[in-house]
Amino acid sequence: MKKISRFFAALAILLSDILCAVVAYNYCALQWGGRYAGYSAPPSTAFICAVPFGIGILCCIFLARFFRKAGK
């Protein structure tokens, strides 16, 4: 159970890193697209992409804690 707990903890960390990269890329794309390509959406809409990642991170943290307690 300890290996499964560590796996989900590592997955939560990996998802948080991917979340930062995806949101930063989308924010930058929307900001430059608004200036030069005429996008109508404000750059702050890029933060909507954080919602599914946040749910996934919370699920991974919950599962890591569950398997750590189940292994004791």
Residue 38 Ramachandran class (φ > 0 left, ψ -120 to 50 alpha, else beta): left
Radius of gyration from C-alpha coordinates of the chain = 17
Specify whether the CB–CB gap between 25 and 33 falls below 8 A: no
pLDDT above 80 for 72? no
| pLDDT tens, position by position, 14-61 | 999 999 999 999 999 999 999 999 999 999 999 999 999 999 999 999
pLDDT at 32: 96
